[in-house]
Structure 1
Amino acid sequence: MNDGVLLIGSGGHASVLLDMLIEQKINILGYISPLPAINQKLFSDFHWFKSDENILQFDKTVVKLVNGIGSLPGNTLRADFYNKYKDLGYSFATLVSEEACVSRYATLEEGVQVMRGAIIQTGTSVGYNSIVNTGSIVDHDCTIGSNNHIAPGVTISGQVTSKENVHFGTGSSIIQSINVNENVVVGGGALSLKT
């Protein structure tokens, strides 16, 4: 098979990723979902594989997976999928919207997705399989853990550290130098002032 990506999922998050992949002219080998695409017009030009097991027909040395499974508080499906296919030797594409602003001195680990309008400043690192969603801001020198979801409109000030599996709810704000423990949900619109 030719080098390219397989999109996992066909819901809302996968739709946004597919739009970004098309815009960046990335070779899309198809999408994998047990259910029909929500946005059938967007997905209509791509091959639909109906089972995760279809992934195994692709050479893991040339295909990359794009994790289009959305992230919700308390739901581990996205992380479970990532871990399963990493253990099988597959790689995940890191995807950054052309309309995001990411410092060349920031570090994005494997499978990170940075959506339109997001800003990631210098000295920040974002752990594997994390989402920095639409219009969110991660300021300087932050350490964002793996499997984090920074929902739309979140503001994270400088030198914030988050552990694994943190969900920053839509519109929440974290002031500088806060430490956020693993598996924490920061509620939508919340203001976090202390560790």
Structure 2
Amino acid sequence: MNIILIGDSGHAKVIADNVISSGNQVVARLDDKYTVLFQKDDCWYGPSSEVHSLIEKESAKVIIAIGSNPVRRKIVESLSLQPNQYATVVHKEAIVSPSVTIGHGTVVMPGVIVNAAATIGNHVILNTRLVIEHDCIVENYAHVSPGSMVTGGVKIREGVHVGAGATVIPMKEIGQWSIIGAGSVVIDDIAEFSTAVGVPARVIKSEENAVKTVNR
């Protein structure tokens, strides 16, 4: 499968490796730091506005290769592509149960384990060597960082960022667009638009007006 990446920075390099290792080919790297479309080493570079013509020209699908959850969502909304125009890429070294559901635009990195009956949404990043246990829900635009452990029955709502090496104990819920700090241990539900850090994780910031910020 031919893949167009939206984004050409550090995270995009990791996504590109993931695409290639999965037997696919990166045919374009689009980023608004470019002002014109050009080709180099059999790959197209240019602004993201070129995506529609390149999808047809290269018979390609798209991945948003941006680590920031709000930015990723903003780009998806601005492009107005159909769900079937996005790819889902699972690294060959990931272990994903056959009973798992994974949405479009999602990338599963090497060493990831996703166990039975988990549901993974659209445009999610499951980063290197994390574990998503049975019956978890990870909603759209979430990013679970390397080395995290999400235990059984956890709900990670839209736009959540779970920091590297964090742990969430069973049956807890992390509200939409919240941030869990690296190495934290979540033992209680976390309200939406919160930042929680520590062992055990405690909310250090709660943004009542964050809904307006996210929806701008």
**TM-score range normalised by the length of the shorter chain:** 0.7 to 0.9
Q: Which runs of 4+ in 1 moved over 6 A?
A: none
- Give runs of aligned pairs for residues 150-165 of structure 1, distance below 5 A: 150-165=144-159
- Tell me how far apart the structure 2 counterparts of residues 95 and 128 of structure 1 sit (CA, whole Å): 12
CA displacement at 1:60 relative to structure 2: 5.6
Q: Which moved more, 1:138-147 or 1:26-35?
A: 26-35
- Tell me how far apart the structure 2 counterparts of residues 185 and 93 of structure 1 sit (CA, whole Å): 26
Task: Say whether the 8 Å CA contact 1:60–1:89 is kept in structure 2.
Answer: no
Task: Say whether the 8 Å CA contact 2:27–2:44 is kept in structure 1.
Answer: no
Q: Which moved more, 1:177-186 or 1:10-19?
A: 10-19
Which residue of the partner structure matches residue 82 of structure 2? Answer: 89
Which residue of the partner structure matches residue 121 of structure 2? Answer: 127
Which residue of the partner structure matches residue 117 of structure 1? Answer: 111
Task: Say whether the 8 Å CA contact 1:33–1:48 is kept in structure 2.
Answer: no
Aligned partner (choices 132, 138, 150) of residue 132 of structure 2: 138
1:185 and 2:179 correspond: yes
Task: Say whether the 8 Å CA contact 1:8–1:67 is kept in structure 2.
Answer: yes
SS at match of 1:29: strand
Task: Say whether the 8 Å CA contact 1:149–1:166 is kept in structure 2.
Answer: yes
SS at match of 1:76: helix
Q: What are the superposed Cα offsets for residues 62-95 of structure 1, whole Å, 9 maximum, x if unpaired?
A: 4210111112xxx61111112222x243621111
Aligned partner (choices 139, 147, 165) of residue 141 of structure 2: 147
Larger Rg over CA atoms: 2
- Tell me how far apart the structure 2 counterparts of residues 193 and 45 of structure 1 sit (CA, whole Å): 49
Aligned partner (choices 19, 35, 39) of residue 17 of structure 2: 19
Across the aligned residues of Structure 1 and Structure 2, the Cα RMSD in angstroms comes to 2.0
Comparing both chains, which one has the higher relative contact order based on Cα–Cα distances under 8 Å and sequence gaps of 6 or more? 1
Q: Give TM-score, length-normalised by structure 1.
A: 0.86
CA displacement at 1:24 relative to structure 2: 2.9
CA displacement at 1:162 relative to structure 2: 1.6
SS at match of 1:79: helix
Q: Give TM-score, length-normalised by structure 2.
A: 0.78
Task: Could you tell me which runs of 5 or more consecutive residues in structure 1 were left unpaired when the two chains were aligned.
Answer: 37-43
CA displacement at 1:139 relative to structure 2: 0.4
Equivalent pairs counted in the alignment come to 182
